[in-house]
Chains A and B, each alone.
Chain A
Amino acid sequence: MYLLYSFRLAFQSLWREKWINLLSVLTIAAGLFMITLTFFVVYNIDLATKRLPARFSVMLYLDDGLSEQETGSIIAQLKKNNAVEQARYIAKDKALEELKGVLKNADYILEGIDENPLPASIEIKLKKESVNIASVKKFAAEIKKIKGIAEVEYGEQFLNSIHSIKGMAKAGSLSLIIIMSAGVIFVCYSTLKIAFYRRKEEIETFKLLGATRGFIRAPFVIEGSVLGMFGGIASMAAAFAFYYVLFYKVTATIPILKILVFPLETFPALPIVGLLLGIGGAVIALGRIRFS
């Protein structure tokens, strides 16, 4: 097998051009680190929107003067709906009590109000899979038809904004990840293209002596893998430094940042991603090898 010899050729070439290769490794590392940061932002946006269903609720305001039986019937109908996870009845008195609790420091607002102006309501928690614009709209339209329900409120604008922020963040990050990955591939490509031109004479001789495409390509693919992998390792070190500073230093002064999550799987993934992008760059740089 010629693989051992290919490794020898690859490492000789890497060593011969060590400064150019070091520069390539650092550039690859910078690209992969940017990808990591972008991924970190998307990951946290995604996590925040996944937490949304637990906090999201639909409020149903009931007509005044409904009997206990009528209210019970409405709750029973709601519970039969497949989208509903939980329905909590809030009586007029309870609603006023909750409002007073909220306005604890501004109770003058309620001064002079003799009669309870708040309607009875039902707070509905929807099932996780139903917390999306289409399902919530459909659900609101369905329950509005139930007799005794005066108004349905679910923060349509809020839901729309969250949805579009998530969409924009995902699209933007994906574009950035693709651009940065292409950048990493380009760095490997140009480094290996230079190495290929430098060894053109040698490669021509190899071809004339009967070398196969595999024999010619192997050292360059190994070089690309090594450059990509070392770039990945360097970016892993940078990502770890970022993780350490953010979660052990910055959160001490800004505790709210503790809600952020850094996916630890990123660390071992970086050298692998670097290696794959390095191989990609090498394959593109070599193109089709012709013998005649």
Chain B
Amino acid sequence: MIHFSNVTKFYENQAAIKNITFSVEKGEMVFMTGPSGAGKSTLLKIIYLSEKPDEGSVTIAEWDLSKLKESNIPFLRRNIGVVFQDFRLLDNRNVFDNVAIALRIRGMLEGEIQEWVMEILKMVNLRHKADSFSRALSGGEQQRVVIARAIVGEPTILLADEPTGNIDPDTAAGITRLFKEINARGTTVVVATHNRELYRNTGRRVFRLDSGNMVGEEIG
């Protein structure tokens, strides 16, 4: 599903990731871990095409990114749900609209959007907050809105960048359960985190990054 081969990315002559090679199979759930600045976010950005690799090749769901036309990028992105580290919620819109935007972009009819979004909000336990503005929510609630937006389009890949960054341990455990549920439905999940609790005893593969290098792989 995701294949990196000798991928390097520079920022102002400084390598953010160096010569990274790894693969993630379809339906797998993996973790990327390492300290801040290890290159976890850069790696995810390359997967959702926010950044281009300077060296090496990347294949996502059979799409060779080096051969991908720019006009096809939106269609590949629709297969990838992203839980952004900085949330990227639309402050001037309510929870419903924040989730619905992912379906509106896909051209879904409003009637279907209504039904589908409410279903997803129920799944993340936010149905009662559908009309609340995102800025009025707690950190954990905002995080769940972002997850709802990422999964509402039924992507084949779900990426989560530090999904438990600013939330309490109980909420974090709930979010981990949610990712497992999503993965159980067949979605490939990649979680970038420096929180050991998130992958401990999960039995999933954990890739360890440090200073842009892939320094190890273990089972969590």
Contacts and interface: CB of A to CB of B under 8 A. Distances in A.
B103 to A, nearest CB: 10
Given A205-B88, A209-B149, A290 B107 contact: no
B101 to A, nearest CB: 6
Given A205-B90, A292-B49, A210 B77 contact: yes
Contacts of B101: 205-206, 209
A245 B7 CA distance: 74
A166 interface: no
Interface stretch (B31-39, B68-76, B176-184): B68-76
Q: Max chain B CB contacts within 10 Å: which of A1, A4, A207, A208?
A: A208
Interface in A31-72: none
Contact of A208 (B82, B104, B153): B82
Interface in A185-219: 201-202, 204-213, 215
A292 B50 contact: yes
Nearest to B106: A210
A210 B75 contact: yes
A43 B54 CA distance: 61
B73 A291 contact: yes
Contacts of B102: 209-210
Contacts, number: 55
Contacts of B49: 291-292
Interface residues of A, number: 20
B90 A209 contact: no
A1 B77 contact: no
B110 A4 contact: yes
A5 interface: yes
B100 to A, nearest CB: 9
Interface in A5-30: 5
Interface of B: 48-52, 70-71, 73-75, 77-78, 82, 84, 88, 90, 101-102, 104-107, 109-110, 149, 153
Interface of A: 1-2, 4-5, 201-202, 204-213, 215, 290-292
Given A2-B105, A208-B50, A212-B105, 4 more contacts: A2-B107, A207-B77, A209-B149, A292-B49
